[in-house]
Amino acid sequence: MASETERKPEETTGGAQGMTRRKALLQLLGLGGAAAGTVVAAKWLSEHSFRPVPAQAENARRDHRTAAVSQLPAMTVVQNGEPRALVQKALENLGGIGRFVSRQDVVVIKPNIAWDRTPEQAANTNPDVVAEVVRQCWQAGAKRVIVTDVSCNEARRCFHRSGIQAAALAEHAEVILPDPELFREVELGGVVLKTWPVFTPFLEADKIFNLPVAKHHVLTGATLGMKNWYGILGGERSRLHQQIHQSLADLASFMLPTLTMIDCYRILLRNGPTGGNVEDVALKKTIVAGTDPVALDAYVAKAYWNLDHAQLPYLEMAAARGLGTVEFEKLLVKVSQLG
């Protein structure tokens, strides 16, 4: 029997009521785990992200955000279901796919397809989550639906072994593997990230859905929605780790998604981001989705790894830029239990 709860923000700005609501939200996912330490080099990336032909680069901040609707939740948590049902309910709770996709839109879906891993290893986004989002976009009348990522391991193996290529093709999506000829130099306008090669599909979309998987990361403690934007870039991405939090805030300021949907069906609790051992994976059967990418990252990081926003500087940097709030408990949240 499905059940639903709508959790409204408190009138107060803090205090006992606010904390009670925060704890209630966190208990949904089961607070646990230890925060991983953050290790970054002290060297700035400004000079390293510079390219020799900056005059040819386009200044191209991509803002695909959906207008807020006061009666609709900014975040939804859907639990105890299979991936397709979780996606369906999450979209319903947020106002339906028609709120996010219009007829003739070119939609780019950005899962995590970084690693040569199976779905059971939880290093990539669940393929059924991707497939259902593709199907929903077609139902809304999209002109094109593209699934792509810039993998860390060899791309063909990642797209195949993750199951995402087959799942997306089964729903008639275009699956585009990274091609060196399909990158353009773009002025990212960041504090650290200046000019950098960006994969072309992300520059030409009308709408972008960010579909990360929730997992541990050795540098930041967790990799969620904002970290998933690393997969729009070419070049020597390992450099970004030298100022990882500032790099994440820069990317979040550049690429503003239509919707973020964090796959928590299986989560990689330890030894991320690559994983490999299924003993590090927990089956949670959950989707957390919404229009505030800062709040979503803050919520999932706290609930699964006990990481506060103060331990994740990129969240506070992004919030300071007006990209969202770290105080997820103050948002209108809709909770659904499918089981």
d(CA 118, CA 272): 14
Q: What is the pLDDT of residue 236?
A: 83
Of 286, 306, 307, 269, nearest to 122 by C-alpha is: 269
Residues paired with residue 264 on neighbouring β-strands, in sequence order: 286
Of 210, 203, 206, 184, nearest to 195 by C-alpha is: 184
Question: pLDDT by residue for the chain (339 residues), tens digit each?
Answer: 567 877 666 433 344 555 678 988 998 887 533 333 222 222 333 333 433 333 445 556 899 999 999 999 999 999 999 999 999 999 999 999 999 999 999 999 999 999 999 999 999 999 999 999 999 999 999 999 999 999 999 999 999 999 999 999 999 999 999 999 999 999 998 988 889 999 999 999 999 999 999 999 998 999 999 999 999 999 888 778 789 999 999 999 999 999 999 999 999 999 999 999 999 999 999 999 999 999 999 999 999 999 999 999 999 999 999 999 999 999 999 999 998
Domain that holds residue 166: 3-9+18-337
CA distances from 189 to 58, 62, 195, 267, 316 (A): 10, 11, 8, 33, 18
> Cβ contacts of residue 200 below 8 Å, gap of 6+?
182, 183, 184
In the chain, the number of structural domains is 1
CA distances from 294 to 219, 227, 262, 298, 325 (A): 18, 11, 12, 6, 6
The CATH code of the domain that includes 78 is 3.40.50.11440
C-beta separation of 210 from 260 below 8 A: yes
pTM score, whole prediction: 0.89
